[in-house]
Each structure stands twice: as C-alpha cells, then as structure tokens.
C-alpha cells in the first residue's frame, strides 16, 4: 500500500483582525477518522507532544465539510475518501501535522480559552 505524506500548514489564521502572535499558532497532529460505517460519522482529533488529545465529532460528511470549510477554507476534503472503511482503507480519512490558530481550533470545537492553560501549555 502506497502512502503519500501531505503536509498542510494553514497560516495565517483565518477570521482574525490584527497581527497574530506566535503563541496563537499551534503545530499539532490532526487526524480525521470515520467512526461509524452504516451511517458514516466522523471525529477530528488533534494532539501534540505534550498535549492531551482533543476531539470533536460530526454526524455526517456535510457537517464535517462545513466545519472544515468555515475554519480552514484551504482544506479540500474532495481529495480524500470520506468512507475509507467501505473502501477497504481502514478508518483514517486524513492524518498529518498542521499549524492552526487557536481561533481555527475553536471554530472546529477543539479549543476554548478556559482550556488553553491546561491543555496547550
């Protein structure tokens, strides 16, 4: 099985006014996983070397696509199988290292200001 590494760095952060401080950008590993076969649903998981994984669940491919489009317009889901289990490819839709802003993570339901000091630092 051939594996192609796709590196995505989504910078500058979206929907921000003014400059972004380096503390607002996080380089994390992001995994998009199909978690149900019969009625496909999805989970986005992000984690770093010293951070606990955080996840957000989406009930269908449209909800996943809408969330990603809002947070990361450059991310094109059309190049990935949204039903990898049915296609015999395991459960991973996407996995790679990404650089995202805290506002992008928040838009995906993966970050809150209250959790910043506990989860990311």
pLDDT digits (tens, 9 = 90+) for 74-86: 988 888 888 887 8
Q: Is residue 18 in a domain?
A: no
Q: Is residue 2 in a domain?
A: no
In sequence order, what DSSP letters do the residues of 38-57 get, joined into one string? TTTEEEEEEE-SSS--EEEE
Please give the residue that has the higher pLDDT: either 90 or 118.
90
Confidence of residue 22 (pLDDT cuts 50, 70, 90): low
Please give the residue that has the higher pLDDT: either 59 or 4.
59
Q: Is residue 11 in a domain?
A: no
Residues of the chain above pLDDT 90, percent:
45
Q: Is residue 103 in a domain?
A: yes
pLDDT at 5 over 90: no
Question: Which pLDDT score is estimated for 90?
Answer: 81
Q: Is residue 38 in a domain?
A: yes
- Strands ordered across the beta sheet of 41-47: 54-58, 41-47, 25-36, 92-101
- For the segment 50-61, what is each residue's pLDDT rounded down to a tens digit? 778 999 999 999
Domain count, the chain: 1
Q: Is residue 35 in a domain?
A: yes
Average pLDDT over residues 83-99: 86
Q: Is residue 15 in a domain?
A: no
Q: Is residue 69 in a domain?
A: yes
pTM of full prediction above 0.85: no
Range of the domain at 29: 24-116
């Amino acid at each position: 099985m051939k594996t192609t590494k796709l590196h995505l760095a989504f910078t500058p952060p979206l929907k921000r006014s003014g400059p972004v401080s380096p503390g607002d950008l996080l380089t994390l590993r992001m995994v998009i996983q199909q978690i149900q076969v019969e009625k496909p649903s999805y989970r986005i998981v992000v984690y770093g070397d010293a951070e606990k994984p955080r996840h957000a669940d989406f009930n269908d491919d449209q909800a996943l696509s809408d969330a990603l489009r809002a947070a990361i317009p450059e991310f094109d889901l059309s190049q990935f199988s949204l039903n990898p289990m049915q296609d015999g490819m395991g459960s991973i839709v996407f996995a790679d290292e990404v650089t995202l802003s805290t506002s992008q993570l928040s838009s995906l339901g993966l970050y809150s200001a209250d959790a910043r000091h506990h989860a990311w630092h």
